[in-house]
Amino acid sequence: MSYNETDWVRAITKLVELTSKQEISWDIFTEYEADAWTTVDRAYMAPLNDRYYVVKSSRFKKYVDEDEWFWAIKFEFEVYTQEIHSDYVKIASAPDLSVISTLYSVVESNFAFKQDALKGLLD
């Protein structure tokens, strides 16, 4: 048995809701698995119910033909656990869904607010 797209959409939508209500908090995350074809611009992580949820904005080379390529953007959503005295372990990755970009946008805004990005400008 596995999760279907509807399950992923419901879970990610729940995280959008919790983030919007400021019931969960996101921080910068740097312990993701990297690869040679993708550049992660930024990743955020939030702990909830013994799981660590990560949303990332990445760029990858999308090839038009053998020699020509351009940078394309993708948003990724992953679920991690953390073993005692060990690194984070990825246990799941969501399929490519448009709702992930919505989550990323909400998380980025939440993080900017938490960091007081407009400090001194709104007085």
- What are the residue ranges spanned by the domains of the chain? 5-114
The single-letter code of the amino acid at 20 is S
Strand runs labelled E in 3-116: 27-28, 38-48, 51-63, 69-82, 88-93
Residue 40 banded pLDDT, cuts 50, 70, 90? very high
Tokens of 91: 């246990």
pLDDT digit string, tens, across residues 82-120: 888 778 899 999 999 999 999 999 999 999 999 999 999
Q: Is the pLDDT of residue 15 over 80?
A: yes
User: Does 34 have pLDDT greater than 80?
Assistant: no
Q: Is the pLDDT of residue 22 over 80?
A: yes
Distance from C-alpha of 101 to C-alpha of 54, rounded to nearest angstrom: 12
pLDDT at 87: 84
- Whole-number pLDDT of residue 106: 97
